[in-house]
Amino acid sequence: MRIPCPFCGSRDSQEFSFLGQAGLKRPDPNAPDAQKQFHDYVHIRDNKAGVTKELWLHANGCRSWITVTRNTLTHEITGSEFASPLTKEAAQ
């Protein structure tokens, strides 16, 4: 599988480390139900078949975090972007 890094261009997936589903927000540790929220945050994830957004680290390249849009059924990648606007600004 080839992943298009916004900074380095198309690279082999072995250069990247997979984090998981993009867009998850860490729960507030001071919330009254923090223990349940953290349990769900760590263990309960969507296992969606089809197009998803995932976080990848270009570990053996530019070290940028990127959000990759990928079809989990076909592994087709239809896009990628820097996960943080700050990373995008630093690359320019």
Domains of the chain: 2-23+49-91 (3.30.2270.10)
Integer CA distances (angstroms), 21 to 30, 33, 37, 48, 91, in order: 24, 23, 17, 10, 24
Tens of pLDDT, residue by residue over 13-70, are 999 999 988 988 899 999 999 999 999 988 887 778 999 999 999 999 999 999 999 9
Which of 19, 14, 26, 22 has the alpha carbon at shortest distance from 67? 22
Q: Which pLDDT value is given to residue 17?
A: 97
- Measured CA to CA, the distance from residue 4 to residue 12 in angstroms comes to 9
Q: Which pLDDT value is given to residue 46?
A: 76
Residue 91 reports pLDDT greater than 60: no
Q: Which two tokens stand for residue 2?
A: 């080839």
pLDDT band at 81 (very low <50, low <70, confident <90, very high): very high
- Measured CA to CA, the distance from residue 52 to residue 19 in angstroms comes to 13
Q: Which pLDDT value is given to residue 23?
A: 85
Q: What is the model's pTM?
A: 0.78
Which has the higher per-residue pLDDT, 75 or 92?
Answer: 75
Q: Which pLDDT value is given to residue 61?
A: 95
Q: Which residues pair with 70 in a beta bridge?
A: 52, 77
- Measured CA to CA, the distance from residue 10 to residue 72 in angstroms comes to 19
Residue 90 reports pLDDT greater than 70: no
